[in-house]
Amino acid sequence: MQSLSQKEPTQLTDEQIEAFGAEMDAIRRRVVSQLGEEDAAYIRAVVDAQRKLEIAGRAMLMVGVFPPAWLGGVAALALSKIIDNMEIGHNVMHGQYDWMGDNALNSRDFEWDIVSSAELWKRSHNFQHHTYTNIVGKDRDIGYLMLRITPEQRWNPYYLGNPVYAVLLSFFFQWGVMLHDLEADQLVTGEKSWDEVSDDGKKMAGKALRQVAKDYVLFPALSGPFFLFTLTGNASANMIRNLWAFAIIFCGHFPEEVQTFTEEEAANESRGQWYRRQLLGSGNITGSALFHLMSGNLSHQIEHHLFPDLPARRYQAIAVEVREACERYGLPYNTGGLTKQLGSVFRQLVTLAMPWSAGPSQPREERSALESVKAA
Amino acid sequence: MPAATVGAGRPRGLLASLTTPLLDVLTYPHGPDRYLEMLDPAWSTRQVRAEITDVCHRAPGTVTVLARPNRVWRGFSAGQHVQLSVDIEGARRSRCYSIVTSEQDRSGRLEFTVHAEPDGLVSNHLQQLRPGTVVGLSQAQGPFTLPSPRPEHVVLISGGSGITPVMSIARTLRDEDRGGSVTLLHYARTAADVAYREELDELAASGVRVLRSYTREGSGELSGHFCAEHLAGITDAPAWVSGPATLVEGVREHWSTAGLEAELTVEHFTPPAPAPIPDDGAPTGEVSFGDRAVSNSGAPLLEQAEVAGLELPYGCRRGICFSCTQRKTSGTVRYRTSGALSTEPDSDIQLCVTVPIGDVTIDL
């Protein structure tokens, strides 16, 4: 990631930015008016595929003593968890299917097959990340508070371990997300009281306990003498989901060309400016239809950030229009294959670990001092 | 409340009380329903769902269906209604319909008759209902019921499609065979409009005093709209009236003049959705948040709730995060972001970007 001031891609006038925003609003209105039977049938078909994979995976892992059953079980359960978390969970919790009025697909009621509780995840993701996208100091998704992923984060010796932390986080991603959503770090800064964190902690613990009871106690126990095969199978499925989710999510915001913003840059922004920040702060991954499904359509991270509550199956078609608009306005549209984007993320994780790597482009105090001089 | 019979929930067996918590953990976080419905779409451990078993059209613009509710259904009292929901173009729509069945019916099926309303999204959709379709139901609700023990004399008055709860009460009293008298007044435009005209004849033959007025044809035992003379001879019996507002108000006036308003139970048959009101003038109407009501200031609902002293959850305050989503039970709101109107009852809306138009009720 780089700061906006490091590389200002285009100099659009305010009028041009608002015109771009009006075009995005028009796309949004049109898609909302088209929502209907096809979208409902699609998400129900995805749910159906997910639950069949889950049942198949759990059944095969009951007899995981046979190696083909174990491998098949891990594959099916991992796919089930990936689809549950990404194409169903993430998207349903964004309110993409609230218009259907189905309690099983409603953002207020949905809970997902991962340790982080839906309620706390929605707060940190839907609100903080999607409102303050890529604003350093406000978007807690930047490096998940564990990694240095933009030069705007000041280097300190802790970051020498940057690549190692990233690898650890990728393997235990669901627990990393849970700790991140708990916002325990805000105790130190005084933004949250002990009582608030402890209330949230209880909710998280309740959720995590049930996940652990299901995957590591009950289902293994049901397998009787083969419990160890079920337990290792469930652990493997969870880990595969962790690695996949980590890869997709890090490619969405952290490749080198994706930009970060300062609080000043994002203060009092208009609707057009908000759209522009969402665009510049996200990157897409190219791939097949199956790849888009497995990524929860977060491979269309740009379209998701422009229209977080439109059903994700619509992003592929919308992307054509967004990209065309970007070309007309001379706005960058960051996209690339999975290996390119992931390579870019890891290059940065390594580079930014080094003490001699670039620091914040301009300290905030200096900048505001400069602006007040200008204003004077 | 009288004993409810149709599909009344059976006591839970020992097996169920042992397996339910286990099933809940094994199917966490989605719950058993998500998997049960793979076997049968009407199965559920929490929601009332019903399979449509029979469909017939007894009068033009009406459909009469029999629906078999699942085991979550707790039964009903004669005269009550349910919220029936169906998916139309991907979106779930709910409307209230009265149960026509007798309390004494043992078939395990509920009868509904739906009259197509002009521009009625749901009522028109239901005309094409097919056997085998699974619909959603609420539990039975509403105070339009008979007391227990039953009064000796009962007066039932209905207009148009308002006949449905009155039929449930008349059938129940017939099946209970308790003695006493029943007088049933029904108003309709023409005899052909009445889905239950043959059954009204049967009721008359079984001893119910049935008096009809077909206002457009000028035929029937009575003539014209409701008036005091239609009740000749009845002075103090408790009455149940169900139908359009004009009929209900006419009857209410008569009973209160007689000083017997307490003896009257009413059921309004109102149009399903309020028509969108053009938003060109000053804000009008009242906004209710649970039990707290304020007059509409024209500001977004979240701000109005805060001014009313409520602390509701919110996040971005600009329509992105859905933290402030609440259920609107009735009324029309406009989305500031897109200009779109939400007119459907029981829909989830984002309070931070919606402005009420007229009366709006938010369920907290």
B262 within some domain: yes
Q: What is the pLDDT of residue B279?
A: 56
Average pLDDT over every residue of A48-66? 97
Domain region containing B182 = 153-268
Q: What is the pLDDT of residue A10?
A: 60
DSSP string, A145-213: GTS--STTSPP-GGGGGHHHHHHHHHHTHHHHHHHHHHTTHHHHHTSS-HHHHHHHHHHHHHHHHHHHI
Which residues are within 8 A (CB) of B255 and not within 5 positions of it... i.e. 6 or more apart? B239, B261, B263, B264
Candidates A51, A209, A211, A304: best to mutate against B (most CBs of B within 10 A) is: A51
Q: What is the pLDDT of residue A362?
A: 59
At residue A155 the predicted structure's pLDDT band, cuts being 50, 70 and 90, is very high
- Put simply, the chain A residues between 197 and 256 with a CB less than 8 A from any chain B CB are 207, 210-211, 213-214, 218-219
Q: Which two tokens stand for residue B63?
A: 């459909």
User: Do A178 and A208 form a contact (C-beta atoms < 8 A)?
Assistant: yes
User: Do B362 and B326 form a contact (C-beta atoms < 8 A)?
Assistant: yes
Across the interface, whether the CB atoms of A32 and B93 are under 8 A apart is answered no
Closest-CA residue of chain B to A127: B321
Look at phi and psi of residue A34 and say left if phi exceeds 0, alpha if psi is from -120 to 50, else beta: alpha
B67 within some domain: yes
At residue A372 the predicted structure's pLDDT band, cuts being 50, 70 and 90, is very low
B232: nearest Cα among B322, B134, B155, B145:
B155
Which residues are within 8 A (CB) of A243 and not within 5 positions of it... i.e. 6 or more apart? A170, A171, A173
User: Do A88 and A53 form a contact (C-beta atoms < 8 A)?
Assistant: no
Across the interface, whether the CB atoms of B26 and A35 are under 8 A apart is answered no
- How far apart CA A293 and CA A44 sit, in angstroms, is 14
DSSP string, A227-280: HHHHHHHHHHHHHHHHHHHHHHHHHHH-STT-EEB-HHHHTT--HHHHHHHHHH
Q: Are residues B181 and B208 part of one domain? A: yes
Across the interface, whether the CB atoms of A126 and B33 are under 8 A apart is answered no
Handedness of CA B261, B263, B268, B269 (dihedral sign): negative
Across the interface, whether the CB atoms of A51 and B33 are under 8 A apart is answered no
Res. A371: pLDDT tops 50: no
What length does chain B have? 364
The 3-class secondary structure across chain B, one letter per residue, is CCCCCCCCCCCCCHHHHHHHHHHHHHCCCCCCHHHHHHHCCCCCCCCEEEEEEEEECCCCCEEEEEEEECCCCCCCCCCCEEEEEEEECCEEEEEEEECCCCCCCCCCCEEEEEECCCCCHHHHHHCCCCCCCEEEECCCECCCCCCCCCCCEEEEEEEHHHHHHHHHHHHHHHHHCCCCEEEEEEEECCHHHCCCHHHHHHHHHCCCEEEEEECCCCECCCCCCCCHHHHCCCCCCCEEEEECHHHHHHHHHHHHHCCCHHHEEEEECCCCCCCCCCCCCCCCCEEEECCEEEECCCCCHHHHHHHCCCCCCCCCCCCCCCCCEEEEEEEEEEECCCCCEECCCCEEEEHHHEEEEEEEEEEC
Across the interface, whether the CB atoms of B34 and A104 are under 8 A apart is answered yes
Q: Are residues B339 and B227 part of one domain? A: no
- How far apart CA A229 and CA A220 sit, in angstroms, is 8
Across the interface, whether the CB atoms of A308 and B30 are under 8 A apart is answered no
Handedness of CA A45, A51, A55, A56 (dihedral sign): positive
Q: What is the pLDDT of residue B92?
A: 94
The distance of B351 to chain A (nearest Cα, Å) reads 14
Res. A7: pLDDT tops 60: no
- How far apart CA B266 and CA B243 sit, in angstroms, is 9
User: Do A19 and A60 form a contact (C-beta atoms < 8 A)?
Assistant: no
Last residue in a domain, options B268, B300, B317:
B268
- How far apart CA A1 and CA A359 sit, in angstroms, is 12
Does B313 contact chain A (CB < 8 Å)?
no
Average pLDDT over every residue of A44-55? 98
Which tens digits make up the pLDDT trace of A171-211?
Answer: 999 999 999 998 888 888 888 888 988 999 999 999 999 99
Across the interface, whether the CB atoms of A37 and B29 are under 8 A apart is answered no
Rg (CA), chain A: 22
Residues of B in contact with A89 (CB under 8 A): none
Q: What is the pLDDT of residue A4?
A: 63
User: Do B62 and B55 form a contact (C-beta atoms < 8 A)?
Assistant: no
B94 within some domain: yes
Torsion of CA A320, B353, A269, A267, to 10 degrees: -130
Q: Which residue has the higher pLDDT, A247 or A10?
A: A247
A313: nearest Cα among A41, A10, A23:
A41
Per-residue burial over A124-136, b if 16 or more Cβ lie within 10 Å, else e, is bbbbbbbbbbbbb
Across the interface, whether the CB atoms of A51 and B38 are under 8 A apart is answered yes
Specify which of A8-22, A146-160, A357-371 reaches the highest per-range mean pLDDT. A146-160
B148 within some domain: no
Which tens digits make up the pLDDT trace of B14-36?
Answer: 667 777 788 889 999 999 999 99
Q: Which of A32, A128, A131 sits opposite B338 (nearest CB)?
A: A32
Instruction: Give how many domains chain B has, as a whole number.
Output: 3
Across the interface, whether the CB atoms of A101 and B347 are under 8 A apart is answered yes
Last residue in a domain, options B107, B137, B167:
B137
Residues of B in contact with A37 (CB under 8 A): 89-90
B20 within some domain: yes
At residue A8 the predicted structure's pLDDT band, cuts being 50, 70 and 90, is low
Task: State the CATH number of the domain containing residue B109.
Answer: 2.40.30.10
Task: State the CATH number of the domain containing residue B229.
Answer: 3.40.50.80
User: Do B156 and B182 form a contact (C-beta atoms < 8 A)?
Assistant: yes
CB atoms within 10 A of CB B205: 9
Across the interface, whether the CB atoms of B338 and A29 are under 8 A apart is answered yes
B234 within some domain: yes
- How far apart CA B88 and CA B79 sit, in angstroms, is 27
Candidates B323, B353, B362: best to mutate against A (most CBs of A within 10 A) is: B323
Average pLDDT over every residue of A288-296? 96
- Put simply, the chain A residues between 303 and 342 with a CB less than 8 A from any chain B CB are 308-309
User: Do A129 and A121 form a contact (C-beta atoms < 8 A)?
Assistant: no
Which tens digits make up the pLDDT trace of B173-227?
Answer: 999 988 889 999 999 999 999 999 999 999 999 999 999 999 999 999 999 999 9
Going from the first residue of chain B to its last (364 residues), give the mean pLDDT of each consecutive group of 10, the final group possibly shorter. 40 68 91 94 94 96 97 96 96 94 96 92 95 97 94 95 97 91 95 95 95 94 92 84 92 87 84 54 88 93 94 90 93 88 90 94 93
At residue A367 the predicted structure's pLDDT band, cuts being 50, 70 and 90, is very low
Res. A143: pLDDT tops 90: no
Q: Which two tokens stand for residue A338?
A: 């999975």
Residue B262 burial (C-beta neighbours within 10 Å; 0-12, 13-18, 19+): exposed
Per-residue burial over B312-326, b if 16 or more Cβ lie within 10 Å, else e, is bebbbbebbbbbbbb
B3 within some domain: no
Largest CA distance in chain B: 67
Helix (H) or strand (E) run with residue A118 in it: helix A118-122
Across the interface, whether the CB atoms of B348 and A130 are under 8 A apart is answered no
Average pLDDT over all residues of chain A:
91
User: Do B156 and B185 form a contact (C-beta atoms < 8 A)?
Assistant: yes
B281 within some domain: no
User: Do A334 and A283 form a contact (C-beta atoms < 8 A)?
Assistant: yes
Per-residue burial over B212-227, b if 16 or more Cβ lie within 10 Å, else e, is bbbbeeeebebeeebe
Res. A221: pLDDT tops 90: yes
Last residue in a domain, options B268, B299, B322:
B268
The residues spanned by each domain of chain A are 2-364
Interchain CB contacts (distance < 8 Å): A and B: 108
Task: State the CATH number of the domain containing residue B357.
Answer: 3.10.20.30
Average pLDDT over every residue of A336-340? 94
Closest-CA residue of chain A to B90: A37
Average pLDDT over every residue of A80-97? 98
Q: Apex CA A49: angle with CA A48 and CA A54, to 5°? A: 100
